[in-house]
Amino acid sequence: MDLSPKFPRTFFEGEGGAYYNWSSSESAVLGQAKVAAGKLVLKPRGFALPHYADCSKIGFVLQGEKGGAGLITPGGKDKGTAAYIALQKGDIIPVPLGSVSWWYNHGPSDLIITFIGETSKAWVPGEITYFLLTGAQGNLTAFLPELIGKAFSMDANKAQKIARSQKGVLIIKLSQEEANSIPVYSTDIANTWTRSIENSPPDVAVENGGSFITLTGAKFPFLEDVGLSATRLKLERCAVRAPTYTADGSTQVIYVAKGSGKVQIVGLNGNLTLDDEVKTGQLFVVPKFFTVTVSAADEVMECVSIITSPRPVIGELGGQDSVLNINPSVLQISLDLTSEITNQFSKMMKIGTIIVPPSSTM
């Protein structure tokens, strides 16, 4: 199984921005694990046309201070009502399966959002397929104008314009006049639709080591609608995230948002399945029940990820909640150690943390 970290490929580039995706043909584990990812880059006044996708996903806002999204969830409690949501760096926004969204950059610099999702119901497992509602490849374009006219109770000429006037594809750049007409996105509904994973209180914070937070359905109810949870790991230079695994059979997909480091994944029969360097912009998959550890290089490293469960169960090998924190005699026999080393090992688990600063590894 090839778990090596991958950079995305270019899917679309235009005046208004670009979209990049990770292909299951280049990374077979995406299809095997039924997960997928893409990265949206909107330039100032860049507008991603209304669309829906065949998977549930979470968007991580990596850059930008004045982004916005429109979201309609057909099966949600606000059926048929559009929410206009303000976005900025550090926010996450869940996007349920089949919901319609559009994205706009009000700011003076690029807006960058990485989407990571679960594709068990997708047209192509391991990839996000988008269905555009407008534009040159939009659904309305394919229907006969006469049928559009009947459906919307208007004459054929107007129906023709509705269906085929927009010549752009996926992402366009608005004129200043068009930009002025875009609805103001609201910060008042942020607690319903978004969370700042960057500014939320961390679950774990270690001096000179870093911090870690998981947003689950219990903390952020909207995550229940997408069946996913989100994590953010920040490691200070040379710090280590102790080994961990998902105990409920869920899969984790990790994107390196900043810095570089090393990742090791242990799979079946105790085999080291991955031992590689990772860099900013790369993505890798941790299959269900596999154990993973990440360490930062000589710089700060930040990772964001999804877990394919809104309430994941995590097994820790290090720290006070370690699954190895068992009876010393059983531990000594299991590891075939002297009592002295066993006692030291047990003691360090009782006082240790899941993030280890560099001074603790010497």
pLDDT of 326 higher than 80 = no
According to DSSP, the β-strands at 210-215 and 204-206 are antiparallel
Q: What is the pLDDT of residues 232-289, one digit of tens each?
A: 999 999 999 999 999 999 999 999 999 999 999 999 999 999 999 999 999 999 999 9
Question: For helices 339-351 and 328-335, what crossing angle results, to 10°?
Answer: 120
34: region left, alpha or beta (phi > 0 left; psi from -120 to 50 alpha): left
Give residue 349's pLDDT band: very low, low, confident or very high (50, 70, 90).
confident
pLDDT-based confidence at residue 190 (cuts at 50, 70, 90): low
pLDDT tens digits, residue range 53-88? 999 999 999 999 999 999 998 876 566 678 889 999
What's the CATH number for 197-361? 2.60.120.10
Q: Tell me what the pLDDT averaged over the chain comes to.
A: 91
Measured CA to CA, the distance from residue 240 to residue 64 in angstroms comes to 29
DSSP state of 183: P
pLDDT of 362 strictly over 50: no
Instruction: Give 238's contacts (C-beta < 8 A, 6+ positions apart).
Output: 295, 296, 297, 298, 358, 361
Fold (CATH) for 9-192: Jelly Rolls (2.60.120)
The domain spans of the chain are 9-192, 197-361
pLDDT at position 5 over 50 = yes
Q: What is the pLDDT of residues 92-118, one digit of tens each?
A: 999 999 999 999 999 999 999 999 999
**With 70 as the cut, is the pLDDT of residue 187 above it?**
no
The answer to whether 138 touches 49, Cβ cutoff 8 Å, is: yes
For range 178-196, the mean pLDDT: 78
